[in-house]
Amino acid sequence: AQGARPPLSPPTDDAMEGGAQQSSLWEPPEQEGGPAERDGGEGPPELRRSQPLFIHGSSRQPPQEEPRASSLPSIPNPFPELCSPSNSPILSSPALGQGPPREGTSHVVKVFGEDGACRSLEASAGTTARQLCETLVRRTRALHDHSWALVELHQHLALERCLEDHESVLEVQSSWAPGADSRFVFRKNFAKYELFKSSTLLFPEVMVSSCLEANKSMAYSELIQNFLNSGSCPEVQGFLHLREAGRKVWKRFHFSLRRSGLYYSTKGTSKDPRHLQYFADLTESNIYYVTQGKKLYGTPTEFGFCIK
């Protein structure tokens, strides 16, 4: 440091990192009468210590921002068969694609009917699937009921799913690969709210046996209703056929669906943590129905789903 001494201040992280050093002790200037006269002539003079003084060895500039996602290397895709029609083995980063829609901007959304007719509607970033369905009901003068749904369809993959009422239509559309054969279809789905109407059909006793054993004093129907009222889901278990990425062979495993995710046992029906293999987190994934499973994927049955 040159010139005047900088003001005293408590130590900071930046100062310590910049090579700060502590100043040496200093004594206050002598006052009139000397220390003996001030202290009444008894005892040694009081030694006063200075506060620590930190001197910056060099001026540091704030670190530059980390490179954006566009400069990051591409990530290999563990499921190449779920990519765009080109079957590219590389997952494109959202920053490189269309990206999420911006607030306050309107976009055109094309929706197909079951007859193949296409309608174009304007939608904002906050437009939900339920709002778009209500608009289409008015446009088509269809009978208004709660079974109308907006379906996300990927024809080249034979995958489809019913959008939930609260989902943003533009956000879903922006996740599609450029040039992919994907579209929205407006049609009825009578099982849309079946979870709340006929919950016992979706949770057979054999699939929730572990929950029944833990709550022996509670009836089966009461147990299921308590789970739905609390916003949670009972632990569901059963056998599923699994096809690993890059393979054509389907293997049968015993799966368990828990709050923390979907697991399968590597040793029969064992629930020992040593035998449970983590498979997927359904809170961060979507479930698609497979419409042509045997033809495209060689599924053992016609009933299949895909976690994507």
DSSP code string of the chain = --SSPPPP----HHHHHTT--PPPP--PPPPTTHHHHHTTT-SPPPPP-PPP----SS--PPPPPPPPGGGSPPEEPS-GGGS-TT--SEEPPTTTSS-SPPTT-EEEEEEEETTS-EEEEEEETT-BHHHHHHHHHHHHTPPP-TTEEEEEEEGGGTEEEEPPTTSBHHHHHHTSPTT--EEEEEEE-TTTTHHHHSHHHHS-GGGSHHHHHHTTTS-HHHHHHHHHHTT----EEEEEEEE-TT---EEEEEEEEETTEEEEESSTT---TTTEEEEE-GGGS-EEEESSHHHHT--SSS--EEE-
Q: What is the predicted pLDDT for the residue at 217?
A: 77
The β-bridge partners of 128 are 168
> Do the beta carbons of residue 171 and residue 111 sit within 8 Å?
no
- The C-alpha angle with vertex 303 and arms to 170 and 277, in degrees rounded to 5, equals 80
Rounded to a whole number, what is the largest CA-CA distance in the chain? Answer: 109
> Do the beta carbons of residue 293 and residue 302 sit within 8 Å?
yes
Q: What is the predicted pLDDT for the residue at 120?
A: 95
Which domains, ranges and CATH numbers included, belong to the chain? 98-188 (3.10.20.90), 196-307 (2.30.29.30)
Q: What is the predicted pLDDT for the residue at 188?
A: 95
The β-bridge partners of 161 are 152
Q: Which of 147, 130, 131 is nearest to 188 (CA)?
A: 147
Instruction: Determine if the pTM surpasses 0.85.
Output: no
Buried-exposed string 276-291: b where 16+ CB fall within 10 A, e elsewhere: beebeeeeeebebebb
**Rounded to whole angstroms, what are the CA distances from 104 to 124, 125, 171, 234, 282?**
7, 7, 14, 40, 31
Q: What is the CA radius of gyration of the chain?
A: 33
Q: What is the predicted pLDDT for the residue at 295?
A: 92
Beta strands 148-154; 287-290: pairing state: unpaired
Interatomic CA distance for residues 142 and 114, integer angstroms: 13
Q: Both ends of the chain: CA-CA distance in Å? A: 60
> Do the beta carbons of residue 124 and residue 170 sit within 8 Å?
yes
Mean pLDDT by 10 residues, the chain (308 residues): 44 45 46 48 57 49 45 46 41 46 80 93 95 94 91 96 96 92 95 84 82 78 81 86 88 93 94 93 92 93 92
